Structure 1
Amino acid sequence: MARGELMKKLLASYGRDEEFRAVAEQIIDEEEKKNNRVLARSLRKTLETGPSPSRPSGPKGLAPLIPFPDAAADFIERVEPTHARNDIVLGATNVRVLLGLIKEYRRADDIRRHGLKVRSKLLFCGPPGCGKTLCAEIFAAELGLPLFLVKLDRLISSYLGETAGNVRKIFEFARKQPCVLFFDEFDALARSREDSSEHNELRRVVNSLLLFIDNIRPKGFLIAATNLDRSLDPAIWRRFDEVVWFDKPSKSMIGRFLRLKFKNVSVAFDPLRHASALDGYSYAEIERVCIQAIKSMIVERRKQVLERDFNRALEDEVRRRAGQSRLAPPS
């Protein structure tokens, strides 16, 4: 592309961080092709160390984006954060662990100068709907790192011999790009090799996966999440620097979550009185109850959520749970 057109694109994209950086990278690539290496190096250094045109909630700003590789494009999706730290309720232990990881990342150079490793490979475990994916999103935003979701349905190829190669492409991307690379439903890829029902080729995929996790030193974080931690291959566990457990919320955490969900609407009752009735529910289930109660107010053109709205929404969730329990396999 002509230099003038690139400059116009650069100015037009100012304030949209990802587009701005992508065009800036194109300009730097053009200078490198012209053998203007001193200028290219200077531009790249300015791009990576200068302030971002727009800054997220994290104090370090956005990490520089490398050109998205064609090799990994089919298997990775960029996810734009839509939540902030106040949108999640975590237990004290998880808050302490995650804050410690953020502090470590920000002092990574100092830690490495002392010959120590920075924790960068995390395993999130716990039942569905308890905040693993949301936590990964907020964690990335706090660090100022882009979040990339691994599309497992495409990664696990119908041609089994290609799966290990697909995994290699993703890990190569994470080695170069400062980011949070998020594997959801990780058990689909890292299932125990002792499982007699698994195909030999899938066992070879696990062997490759173990090597990739061992060898990678991501510039950001690798996060794997699973609802089925007992299905993971035993050798997987020691490959991760930290394991974070997500449990169903306690009564006090349910209360905090209810306050969070109703903070922007007027209610004619105290939602916290219902915290005991929600014991044993996941955050996703409680959120569904709250949203349904708010929608009832909107549909009936009222200005307040009534207690009957909440009770009916809770009854629907109880009915839904009962139906799911009938579908569950016998223990």
Structure 2
Amino acid sequence: MARGELMKKLLASYGRDEEFRAVAEQIIVEEEQKNNRVLARSLRKTLDNSAPSTGAPKALAPLIPFPDAAGDFVERIEPVHTKNDIILSASNINVFQGLIQEFKRGEDIRRHGLAVRSKLLFCGPPGCGKTLCAEVFANELGLPMFVVKIDRVISSYLGETAANVRKVFEFARKQPCVLFLDEFDALARSREDSTEHNELRRVVNSLLIFIDRIRPKGFLVAATNLDQTLDPAVWRRFDEVIWFDKPNAAMIDRYLKLNFRNIEIDFDLHKYASHLEGYSYAEIERISTQAIKSSIIDRRKKVSGDDFKQALNDEVRRRSGLARLNQAD
């Protein structure tokens, strides 16, 4: 039986659907932790089949009260993008469709003694859709998204970083969500790197243990632009490694149409796709946005080819400056 305090909360929240479901979810989680799986499954089935009292869509994962221990390190992000706002390769679409179906049938899979894939590693250069994909993924699953604030997790005090990581993982263990760790390489850097100190090696040791042991109720998603710097032992801890590459010509063409879908233009977008090969989605979006701004500044109703060319030239200049900066490093 759930704790008396939770039962009081449940009764007190009657009639307030969102709050009622959140407390009910806590009771189910507590029964699962006690290994009362038959009861937990029955309760969850009843909760899922009950229609919300309002006309709002049913949430798959009501929020538990936010734990003070993780509050400094985790921030909730409200997803605003949908699958219509992202361009993925065919292979990545297949992977994500499989993950979504597996999540939805998770109870059946576990009943057969099998694990549901829930730990994902996103790899690829900056600006190629890793963060956006995590947001869209959370939206499609109906799960809240939380982003780990890596700068706060990493502490200057010996021993504190591993303790902070533990708090984050404890949060992910309890809360059904998509927990997103960007710049994962800051925590999981190779222990073979001679420039790293012993404290970071201890953090990596702890991190590997946490990833091994966690069975998130949603998904743990780590992302890195520097996959070559990750500790070799990290890779096998993840159920899936998903690669995000710079878009090819066909994907660029689709992305340009997406960027200008509500904008009047007087030039052929398709002919510019080949000029943008090798550019990231973030760079292409910056070019598109700047071209649109130019037409607004000049009080024109349509974006012209000259607007787009000038925006492209600005991006080329920006790239050249960054290239010189990287060579200097």
Superposed CA offset, 1:12-66 (max 9, x none): x87xxxxx4389649x99xxxxxxxxxxx9xx8676653454656xxx7341111
- CA distance in 2 between partners of 1:95 and 1:171 (Å): 27
Match among 271, 274, 277 for residue 273 of structure 1: 271
Alpha carbon RMSD of aligned pairs, Å?
2.4
- Cα displacement (A) at 1:329: 3.9
**What's the secondary structure of 1:123's corresponding residue?**
strand
Q: Equivalent residue for 1:179?
A: 177
104-113 vs 138-147, greater mean Cα deviation: 104-113
Match among 234, 239, 252 for residue 236 of structure 1: 234
- Cα displacement (A) at 1:71: 0.3
**Residues 173-212 of structure 1 correspond to what in structure 2 (within 5 A)?**
173-212=171-210
Amino acid at match of 1:150: V
**What's the secondary structure of 1:195's corresponding residue?**
coil
- CA distance in 1 between partners of 2:51 and 2:157 (Å): 45
Amino acid at match of 1:232: L
**Quick one: percent identity of the two aligned structures?**
67
**Residues 84-123 of structure 1 correspond to what in structure 2 (within 5 A)?**
84-123=82-121
**What's the secondary structure of 1:149's corresponding residue?**
strand
The question of whether the paired residues in 2 share the 8 Å contact of 1:48 and 1:64 is answered with: no
Amino acid at match of 1:274: Y
**Residues 123-134 of structure 1 correspond to what in structure 2 (within 5 A)?**
123-134=121-132
Q: Equivalent residue for 2:311?
A: 313
Task: Name stretches of at least 5 consecutive residues in structure 1 with no aligned partner.
Answer: 1-5, 15-19, 30-40
Amino acid at match of 1:281: Y
- CA distance in 2 between partners of 1:238 and 1:329 (Å): 34
- Cα displacement (A) at 1:159: 1.1
- Cα displacement (A) at 1:114: 1.5
**What's the secondary structure of 2:309's corresponding residue?**
helix
Amino acid at match of 1:83: H
The question of whether the paired residues in 2 share the 8 Å contact of 1:176 and 1:219 is answered with: yes
4+ runs deviating over 2 angstroms: 6-11, 20-26, 44-56
**What's the secondary structure of 1:148's corresponding residue?**
strand
- Cα displacement (A) at 1:274: 0.4
Paired positions, count: 303
- CA distance in 2 between partners of 1:101 and 1:224 (Å): 16
TM-score normalized with structure 1 length: 0.86
Superposed CA offset, 1:248-284 (max 9, x none): 0000000000010000010001111101110100000
Amino acid at match of 2:235: W
**Residues 3-14 of structure 1 correspond to what in structure 2 (within 5 A)?**
none
- Cα displacement (A) at 1:157: 1.1
**What's the secondary structure of 1:115's corresponding residue?**
coil
**What's the secondary structure of 2:265's corresponding residue?**
coil
The question of whether the paired residues in 2 share the 8 Å contact of 1:22 and 1:67 is answered with: no
- The alpha-carbon distance between structure 1 residues 117 and 62, as it changes in their structure 2 partners (threshold 3 A), is closer
Q: Equivalent residue for 2:6?
A: none
The question of whether the paired residues in 1 share the 8 Å contact of 2:22 and 2:62 is answered with: no
The question of whether the paired residues in 1 share the 8 Å contact of 2:61 and 2:177 is answered with: yes
Match among 143, 146, 171 for residue 148 of structure 1: 146
- CA distance in 2 between partners of 1:109 and 1:301 (Å): 57
Task: Name stretches of at least 5 consecutive residues in structure 2 with no aligned partner.
Answer: 1-9, 28-39
Amino acid at match of 2:155: S
- CA distance in 1 between partners of 2:73 and 2:152 (Å): 6
**What's the secondary structure of 1:222's corresponding residue?**
strand
Q: Equivalent residue for 2:216?
A: 218
The question of whether the paired residues in 1 share the 8 Å contact of 2:125 and 2:244 is answered with: yes
- CA distance in 2 between partners of 1:242 and 1:327 (Å): 34
Q: Equivalent residue for 1:34?
A: none
- The alpha-carbon distance between structure 1 residues 292 and 284, as it changes in their structure 2 partners (threshold 3 A), is same
- Cα displacement (A) at 1:7: 10
- The alpha-carbon distance between structure 1 residues 236 and 218, as it changes in their structure 2 partners (threshold 3 A), is same
